[in-house]
Amino acid sequence: MEERLQKLISAAGLMSRRAAETAIEAGEVTVNGTVAALGDKADPLRDDIRVRGRRLPANGEKIYLMLNKPRGYVCTLSDEKGRKTVTELVRDVGARLYPVGRLDMDSEGLLLMTNDGDFANKLMHPSNEVEKCYRVTVSGDGLETAAERLSLPMILDGRRLRSANVRFLKQEGDRAVLDITIHEGRNRQVRRMCESVGLKVHRLCRISEGPLSLGKLPSGQWRYLNRDELAAFARAVRV
């Protein structure tokens, strides 16, 4: 069914209807390769609608992507304190997306986002203990034994954690770089683990989740998950 472009763009959650009208007037919207004009209509199930080069998803299309979250962004759809949100970084996708899980504001790295609520809920269910690896820069006393101490059994919020796999990568002056792999997703777990053994965290970046790796995706950028990655991830988390 054909509808006015500004209504379709707004319904996809990309921007307000007024902002969509401005984008159309600026020549930033195309339909099947032709620059659209204000008042044009299109059928999202038949036509290739693009906003600033990004295709507007058809209604009901499931989207899965990974974002390299920078520091300073919160993993919410909106923030009452006016802080920057990760949804601002994926506005050009053309659909309303939700973060799967969390990275705190001072952390960075791999964050999955989707509009598939069932997939997100299954992934975050406690029964799906997906391995997550974080590259962490720390300082404190006894850096040479940091990996060993972090690998020991720990109690957090009155519950025993599964032992983490910790690998010492290098020491740079008074700081060390570690890879810490955990299976649970407790609130600020890696930071609290480090604090419990007297280490101060200077940088924390999630570099992998299950079979997915951040790779060389630039900070603040996103990419779609490909079919093989989705299949591998579905097997890993039994969705």
Whole-angstrom Cα distance, residue 105 to residue 52? 28
The active-site residue out of 47, 79, 104, 116 is: 104
- 40 catalytically annotated: no
Helix (H, G, I), strand (E, B) or coil at 75: coil
Q: CA distances (Å), 4 to each of 9, 31, 32, 219, in order? A: 9, 12, 15, 35
- Tokens (6 digits) for 101: 């899980």
Q: For 170, how many CA atoms within 13 A lie in the half-sphere containing its CB?
A: 2
CB 77 within 8 A of CB 98: yes
Count other Cβ atoms within 10 Å, centred on residue 166.
19
Residues assigned a catalytic role: 104
